[in-house]
Chains A and B, each alone.
Chain A
Amino acid sequence: MRTMRSLAGGLRLTLVGGFLSYRALITFLTPALFFVMMIATPLFQIITFSLLGRYSKAETADFYVVGTAIQASAMAGIYGASQAVANERAFGTLAQMLISPAARFWIMLGRLIPTCVNGIVVAVFGVFAGWALLGLRLGAGDLAPIGLAAVCASASCAGLGLVIGALGLRFSDMYFITNAVHLVLLIATGAVIPLALLPEWVRALSRLLPMSHSIAMAQDVVAGRSFSALHSVGAELLLAACYFGVALAALARSERQSRRHSTLELV
Chain B
Amino acid sequence: MTAPATPGAAGHLRALLVCSAFQLRLLLQYKFYVVAVFVQPLAFALIQFVMVGHRQETSALAAVSVQTGLIGMWTATLFGSGGGLSRERRFGTLEPVAVTPSPLAVGILAINLATAVMGIISMAVTLALGAVFFDMPFVPRRPALFAAALVVAVLANACLGFLMSNAFVLYRNALVLTNLLEYPVWVLTGLMVPVSFLPQWCRPFSEVLSMTWAARALNHSMTGEGAPVTEILWCAVTGAACLLVALLFLRTVHDAVRRRATLSLV
Contact = CB atoms under 8 A, between A and B. Distances in A.
Contacts of B197: 51, 55
B186 A193 contact: no
A41 B47 CA distance: 19
A183 interface: yes
Given A48-B186, A51-B187, A198-B50, A56 B55 contact: yes
B232 interface: no
A16 interface: no
Interface stretch (A30-38, A203-211, A213-221): A30-38
Nearest to B39: A180
Interface in A26-72: 28, 30, 32-33, 36-37, 40-41, 44-45, 47-48, 51-53, 55-58
Contact of B54 (A40, A187, A197): A197
Contacts of B22: none
A173 B31 CA distance: 7
A187 B39 CA distance: 12
B173 to A, nearest CB: 6
Interface in A172-209: 173, 175-176, 179-180, 183-184, 186-187, 192-193, 197-198
Interface stretch (B8-16, B123-131, B177-185): B177-185
Nearest to B30: A173
B173 A187 contact: no
A72 to B, nearest CB: 11
Contacts of A175: 31-32
Contact of B51 (A28, A45, A58): A58
B175 interface: yes
B98 to A, nearest CB: 25
A193 B47 contact: yes
B39 A40 contact: no
B190 to A, nearest CB: 11
Contacts of A58: 51, 54
A37 B176 CA distance: 8
Contacts of B151: none
A47 B187 CA distance: 9
A193 B51 contact: yes
Interface in A94-112: none
Interface residues of A, number: 32
B81 interface: no
Contacts of A56: 51-52, 54-55
- Majority SS at the chain B contact face: helix
A52 B51 contact: yes
Contacts of B180: 36, 40-41
B35 interface: yes
A187 B47 CA distance: 7
B43 A183 contact: yes
A179 B40 contact: yes
Interface in B170-212: 173, 175-176, 179-180, 182-184, 186-187, 192-194, 197-198
A176 B43 CA distance: 14
Nearest to B51: A56
A173 B180 CA distance: 23
Q: Which of A28, A30, A48 has the most CB of B within 10 A?
A: A48
A201 B198 CA distance: 34
Contacts of A57: 54-55
Given A51-B192, A55-B51, A56-B51, 18 more contacts: A32-B173, A33-B176, A36-B175, A36-B179, A36-B180, A41-B179, A44-B182, A47-B183, A47-B187, A52-B47, A55-B193, A55-B197, A175-B31, A176-B35, A184-B43, A186-B47, A193-B47, A197-B51
Which 10 residue pairs across A and B have the least CB separation, nearest first?
A: A44-B183, A176-B31, A56-B51, A183-B43, A55-B193, A58-B54, A179-B35, A173-B31, A56-B54, A32-B176
